[in-house]
Each structure stands twice: as C-alpha cells, then as structure tokens.
Amino acid sequence: MKNLSTSLLLLLLIAATAFSAQAQTIRRCNNSGLTIAGVNIYTTLQAAHDAASANDIIYLEPTSNSYGPLICVRPLTIIGNGYFLNENPGLQLALQTSETGTVTFANGSAGSRITGCVIAGMNIGASNITVERNQITSTFYIGYNPAIGSVGVSNVLVRQNYITGGGNPLFFFPGSTAATAINNVIVNGNIITTGISTATGNYTRLGSILISNNVLGNLAGTSGGLDVDNAVIKNNILTPTSGTGNNFTPRSNAFSNNISGNAAFGTANGNQQNIAPSAIFVGGTASTDGAFQLRTGSPAIGTGESGVDVGAFGGTIPYRIAGIPNVPSIYQFNQSVSGNSLNGTISTRSNN
C-alpha cells in the first residue's frame, strides 16, 4: 500500500507538471512520512524556497501536515492541491490539502504566484504578486512586511480565494509617505467572509484599486465591510442586513452594480439594496464555498455590469470551487487484478 500511495503521489506530480515545457526546476515538498525517491524533495516550504533559483516551481504535495511558514525573497510559483475537497467530491483523487504557515512575499519576490494552498496568513510586501485559488485562514495584508512595516507595492492580483478571519481579514496597509503607497491592485472573484479595510487609515495612499465580483460577508448577514479609497467597486455582494449602510464608507470611490443586505450602496448606478443573503445564495447543504453560488431567481443573476452575474461566481474569471489550481489533476483511479497483473485506469482533467 505504501508503494501504491507513493506511486499515486508521483502520478499527481506528473499530471500537474505536464502543462509546463519551460526550463524551471521542479521542486517538491512532501512531509507525509513516505520514503520518496528522487532529487529536489523537501519537508518544508522554506527549505524548498532556500534551495530554489528564480522562477522555479514548488509543488506542495497533499498531506495532513503543514509545510510551515515562508519568507519568500525570490520569484517562485507555488502550487498546492486545493481545499474543501471532502465537501466537493470528484475534483481531486487525493483529498488532503497543501497547508502552510504565514506566507510573506518580501523584497526580491516580485513575480511570484501561489495557488491551491491552505495558508495561515498572508503578507504581500513586494510588487507583481499573484495570490489565486487559495484558502486563507487568517489576516491577509497587502503592502506589509512584518519585519519592516508598511511597504509600497503595485500590480498585485488577489483572485478566486476563500478568505476568512476575524475583523476584516483583507487589509490594505499603506504608510504615510509616497514610498509606502499601494497602487494597481485587483481583488476579483473572492469569497471574503467578513470584508476589506485599510488598516492604517492612510486612505489617500491607495490608488487604482479594482474590487469586483466578490462576496464580502457571511451567509447569515451578520458580518461584512468595505472601507477603501480611490477604488472602482462593482459587481460585489455585501451581505450584512443590519444597520443602514455603515458597512461601507464611500470615500473617493466609483461604485456600481453592487448588491447589499442593507442600504450600503443605495440604488443609483445599478446598485441594489436591502436584499438578504437567503434570497441571493443557494446556501443550505452545499459545500462551504459552493453555498455562495447563486440560487434560482437570484437578483444577482445578470444584473452586473454588461449583464454579468454579481458576486464571486460571476464575471469573466469566476471563483473556482475548492480552489483547484489551473494545472491538470488526477480525479479518479480504478484498479483491478487479472491473474498476476494489476491493471489501473487513471482519469485526468484540465482546470483552467
């Protein structure tokens, strides 16, 4: 059985790496306790990073153990297995996740991308960073490095993630000077179960922010908020039903085609107000993230800009259930014995 499990892990790796014909070195993290033969295999994410060269690819193979925290100082691609896999069957053969501690993208990591991981906290302290299709279970800071505080960053993409945590878990962290400003950030297609805020209060140090097709808040309508400046805010669902709109502070924003559970956005420019989450989402017995899909007859269907659906499952790049990374995956393996032969059938799919 151990040899079979090892073989399946190798097959998962082969399927995942088939998409790339580039010359980057493939590095693997595996802390499952299996004896894995080969080179470039590590038990922690930091060790794989420290051995890597710029533009290498690190695969975090699914196990029940965390690969630990990371301070990233070189451009890398980090790929995990997805999340909520037990709740969303048929997407991956291996149902365990690829967990990390807090990940900090520090100076030197510009151009990095992380996807398909369960991450216990995120700090973006470098420009040109992509965070997509992850479950982030604690505070997520943009423009922050714990070692030095506020950091000026630009060209950050936060897309198709499931983000939880206390307060408003996604924080912009601009400083008080032009050198610590945050510019050109896209937050798109995420489920953020509380909201987005500006931790430092330096709102004027935000520029060219796009917040589109997100869910901000929980299904109960008891949490959610949005407090940023200089942002285009469109096609989002802000779920809180209490209050008269104090979950959203307009500042210098352009906002249209959003839906709120209270009067946060008003009714001008295609916005809708006072719509409870129960009228919008399927909820019920769907998976944790699948519960945020739109129910039949939802007022979010087709009411976004240019007729797209409002919320994380709408737009041109909608949320992807379970955060399956956009590399090929094995989702089914069948075996049978015929005489002295063991026959196996492997089913794979692409995940664009």
C-alpha radius of gyration, the chain, whole number? 21
Q: Which two tokens stand for residue 44?
A: 């922690």
Kind plus residue range of the DSSP H or E element containing 8: helix 2-17
Question: Hey, how many other C-beta atoms are within 10 angstroms of the C-beta on 206?
Answer: 22
State pLDDT tens for residues 46-81: 999 999 999 999 999 999 999 999 999 999 999 999
pLDDT band of 343, cuts 50, 70, 90: low
Q: Which two tokens stand for residue 287?
A: 């998976």
How confident is the model at residue 95, as a pLDDT? Answer: 82
Average pLDDT, integer, range 304-333: 84
Q: What is the mean pLDDT of the chain?
A: 88
Percent of the chain surpassing pLDDT 90: 76
Rounded to whole angstroms, the Cα distance separating 134 from 278 reads 25
pLDDT at 99 over 70: yes
Which position has the higher pLDDT, 202 or 7? 202
Q: For residue 307, which phi and psi values (nearest 5 degrees)?
A: 80, 10
Q: Which two tokens stand for residue 248?
A: 């959203």
State pLDDT tens for residues 252-302: 999 999 999 999 999 999 999 999 999 999 998 789 999 999 999 999 999
How confident is the model at residue 109, as a pLDDT? Answer: 98
Lowest mean pLDDT among 20-24, 58-62, 94-98, 290-294: 20-24
Average pLDDT, integer, range 203-225: 96
How confident is the model at residue 13, as a pLDDT? Answer: 45
Question: Hey, how many other C-beta atoms are within 10 angstroms of the C-beta on 161?
Answer: 30
State pLDDT tens for residues 109-121: 999 999 999 999 9
State pLDDT tens for residues 189-200: 999 998 999 999
How confident is the model at residue 239, as a pLDDT? Answer: 97
How confident is the model at residue 54, as a pLDDT? Answer: 97
pLDDT at 92 over 80: no
Residue 196: how many CA atoms within 13 Å on its side-chain side?
Answer: 30
Rounded to whole angstroms, the Cα distance separating 176 from 143 reads 12
**Residue whose C-alpha is closest to residue 326's, from 318, 337, 334:** 318
CB 212 within 8 Å of CB 315: yes
* Runs of H (alpha helix) within 18-76: 45-51
How confident is the model at residue 7, as a pLDDT? Answer: 42
Is the pTM higher than 0.85? The answer reads yes
pLDDT at 158 over 80: yes
Cα–chain-centroid distance for residue 133? 4
How confident is the model at residue 224, as a pLDDT? Answer: 92
Average pLDDT, integer, range 319-336: 67
How confident is the model at residue 344, as a pLDDT? Answer: 52
How confident is the model at residue 90, as a pLDDT? Answer: 85
